[in-house]
């Protein structure tokens, strides 16, 4: 039986992948006061670079929510005419690409792997709350005096000034997104299409509902004269590049330098074609795979959408609701259960989010990373976890024993477990014993990376046993109920003792 897909299947997969890529780009462009043509140009450039230069089946160049939010925050500094905002956005995209190329060349590999998961989650929480403050006036259909919590509270009190047709339309869009049962993302695109059809029945302009800025695609937009604060532009673009670099460190560790360089080159190309900032996205849907035929189908669909130009008339309240929905969908809610009774990790998360909210997205991000770097250096030196030593692997009776040479904590867990995986990845073994007799600090970052290692080994039909734990850490790990790690796979015995015990029993550990 042939495994080749028909053209109809290619376009179906392409439409599903567009559901992950296009809605957020359109929303961020519209809310930032930029024409949606910039979002479409950015998505098309990202797809073209993925087609010509990409190679992974799960990684796609796309305008990500947080990098697009950074662009929105940067554009907020420039409230001039549309042509000036377009020029500033293109300059930011161009400079971001240059910063990323520079980072891929001079920064050490995975130099931000020490960022703890609570810090990263706190950054995400702070940015999400900031985005809510920016989107609230759009949903209510009013002009915001300032993007602050006080301004949002004043808008809530002054309910008589709301544009009620805008509120009703946003509520209906949100209800449709939530109640529409679908396992894939393209329902956001279907909502956009339905709202466009509704605009012919009930013209939104007649009831004061705002629509995105209308402007044709401009090539070389950064060549237009603009009165910009150049130091501020360099700072904002460096902040956007830093965030994209952090996203790559957290989620896409394989072929790291190539991925960051690819994003930098793609942003430079996007700036020349009049697009907006793009980043790396990871498609978590197990069914979807990024293939060449699918990318070609996506480009054809984007060309049809561009020629049809129906997305240009989608109301801003609908785009605001879609932006909030996409961010909520991308949150890994299952990972939040790891914070149960982890008070120090919760404190890190709250401090990071508060710094982002108080000092703004740009300044707050640099403060959080600087503070996290200082604490990481102090903690690593105090726990004798720096420099990071290489793990050792011993093959005993066709089973692997990995001995970690130092305590496992948030600052080195990513490096140690990645190196451990590379050591046993190609070995023909079924059981791996990870000896943590040197110590293990039970925090959310360690839980996350242990779970990720167990999942990768499970996909190869291998079983991970975590050994050498002290009694306290042993009880905590069992209570967390990590995926792919049952209670029988944790032990206070050393790896050699547990291996001998399994051989002596001569039976499976898990029924």
- Residue 277's pLDDT is 83
Note the pLDDT of residue 465. Answer: 93
Counting residues of the chain whose pLDDT is more than 90, the rounded percentage is 18
* Stretch (H or E) spanning 394: strand 392-396
Mean pLDDT of 17-38: 80
Which pLDDT band, with edges at 50, 70 and 90, does 471 fall under? Answer: very high
pTM for the model stands at 0.86
Q: What integer best gives the mean pLDDT of the chain?
A: 81
Terminus-to-terminus CA distance in the chain, angstroms? 36
Strands (DSSP E) contained in 430-506 are: 431-435, 463-467
Which domains are seen in the chain, by residue range? Answer: 11-351 (no CATH), 392-505 (3.30.750.24)
Mean pLDDT is lowest, of 28-37, 52-61, 83-92, 300-309, for 52-61
Task: Report how far apart, in Å, the C-alpha atoms of 216 and of each of 83, 223, 260, 358 are.
Answer: 11, 16, 30, 37
Asked whether residue 507 carries a pLDDT value surpassing 50, the answer given is: no
Tell me what pLDDT residue 58 has: 54
Q: At which residue do the structure tokens 């919590």 appear?
A: 149
The confidence score (pLDDT) of residue 153 equals 76
CA distance 485 to 453: 10
Whether 390 has a pLDDT exceeding 80, the answer reads yes
Q: For residue 314, give every residue at least 6 positions away whose Cβ sits within 8 Å of its Cβ, in sequence order, or none.
A: 26, 30, 36, 192, 195, 196, 211, 212
Q: 388 φ, ψ to 5°?
A: -75, 125
- Which position has the higher pLDDT, 69 or 243? 243
**Averaged pLDDT, 287-304:** 78
Q: Quick one: pLDDT at residue 49? A: 85
Q: For the residues 486-493, what does the mean pLDDT come to?
A: 92
Confidence at residue 73, expressed as pLDDT on a 0 to 100 scale: 63
> Which ranges of 6-143 does DSSP label H, i.e. alpha helix?
7-31, 36-53, 65-75, 82-106, 117-140
Instruction: Please report which confidence band the pLDDT of residue 509 belongs to, taking 50, 70 and 90 as the band edges.
Output: very low
Q: How far apart are CA 221 and CA 216, in angstroms?
A: 11
Query: How far is Cα 467 from Cα 319, in angstroms, rounded to an integer?
Result: 50
**Strand partners for 286:** none
Mean pLDDT of 420-425: 90
User: Which residues fall within 8 angstroms of residue 469, CB to CB, at 6 or more apart?
Assistant: 436, 440, 477, 490, 491, 492
Instruction: Give pLDDT, residue 1.
Output: 40
Range in 72-81, 331-340, 448-457 the model is least confident about: 72-81
Distance CA 47, CA 471 (A): 51
54-98 confidence digits (pLDDT tens): 655 556 667 666 666 666 666 665 655 666 777 888 888 889 999
**Measured between alpha carbons, how far is 305 from 142 in angstroms, rounded to an integer?**
29
What confidence tier does 440 reach under pLDDT thresholds 50, 70, 90? very high
Residue 280 pLDDT exceeds 70: yes
Structure confidence at residue 201 (pLDDT): 79
| Alpha helix stretches (DSSP H) within 214-312 | 230-251, 256-272, 292-308
Residue 146 has pLDDT above 60, yes or no: no
Q: Does 81 or 358 have the greater pLDDT score? A: 358
The pLDDT confidence band at residue 2, using thresholds 50, 70 and 90, is very low
56: tokens are 């992974």
**25 pLDDT above the threshold of 80:** yes
Residue 13 has pLDDT above 70, yes or no: yes
Return the bridge partners of 401, or none.
394, 433
User: What pLDDT is recorded for position 285?
Assistant: 54
């Amino acid at each position: 039986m042939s495994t080749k897909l028909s053209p109809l299947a290619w376009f179906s997969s392409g439409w599903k992948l567009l559901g992950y890529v296009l809605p957020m780009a359109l929303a961020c462009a519209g809310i930032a006061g930029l024409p949606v043509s910039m979002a479409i140009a950015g998505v098309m450039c990202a797809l073209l670079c993925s087609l010509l230069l990409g190679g992974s089946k799960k990684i796609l160049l796309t305008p990500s929510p947080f990098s697009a939010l950074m662009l929105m925050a940067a554009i907020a500094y420039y409230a001039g005419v549309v042509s000036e905002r377009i020029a500033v956005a293109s300059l930011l995209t161009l400079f971001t690409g240059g910063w990323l190329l520079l980072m891929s060349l001079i920064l050490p590999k995975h130099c931000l792997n020490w960022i703890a998961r609570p810090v990263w989650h706190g950054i995400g929480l702070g940015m999400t709350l900031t985005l809510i403050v920016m989107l609230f006036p759009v949903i209510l259909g009013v002009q915001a005096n300032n993007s602050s919590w006080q301004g949002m509270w004043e808008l809530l009190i002054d309910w008589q000034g709301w544009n009620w047709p805008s509120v009703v339309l946003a509520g209906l869009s949100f209800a449709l997104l939530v109640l529409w049962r679908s396992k894939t993302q393209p329902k956001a695109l279907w909502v956009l299409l339905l709202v466009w059809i509704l605009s012919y029945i009930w013209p939104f302009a007649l009831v004061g509902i705002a629509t995105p800025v209308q402007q044709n695609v401009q090539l070389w937009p950064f060549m237009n004269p603009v009165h910009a604060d150049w130091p501020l532009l360099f700072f904002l673009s460096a902040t956007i590049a830093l965030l994209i670099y952090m996203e790559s460190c957290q989620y896409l560790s394989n072929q790291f330098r190539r991925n960051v360089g690819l994003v930098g080159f793609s942003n430079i190309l996007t700036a020349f074609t009049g697009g907006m900032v793009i980043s790396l996205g990871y498609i978590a849907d197990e069914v979807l795979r990024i293939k060449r035929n699918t990318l070609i189908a996506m480009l054809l669909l984007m060309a049809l959408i561009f020629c049809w130009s129906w997305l240009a008339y989608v109301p801003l309240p609908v785009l605001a609701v879609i932006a909030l929905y996409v961010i909520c969908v991308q949150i890994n809610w299952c990972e939040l259960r790891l914070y149960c009774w982890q008070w120090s990790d919760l404190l890190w998360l709250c401090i990071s989010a508060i710094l982002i909210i108080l000092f703004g997205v740009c300044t707050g991000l640099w403060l959080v990373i600087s503070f996290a770097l200082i604490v990481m250096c102090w903690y690593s030196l105090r726990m004798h976890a720096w420099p990071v030593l290489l793990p050792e692997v011993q093959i005993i009776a066709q089973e692997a024993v990995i001995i970690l040479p130092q305590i496992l904590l948030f600052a080195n867990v990513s490096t140690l477990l990645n190196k451990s995986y590379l050591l046993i990845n190609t070995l023909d073994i079924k059981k791996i014993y990870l000896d943590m007799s040197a110590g293990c600090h039970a925090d959310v970052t360690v839980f996350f990376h242990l779970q990720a290692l167990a999942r990768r080994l499970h996909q190869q039909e291998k079983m991970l046993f975590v050994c050498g734990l002290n009694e306290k850490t042993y009880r905590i790990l069992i209570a967390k109920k990590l995926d792919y790690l049952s209670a029988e796979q944790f032990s206070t015995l050393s790896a050699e003792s547990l291996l001998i015990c399994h051989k002596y029993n001569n039976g499976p550990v898990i029924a």
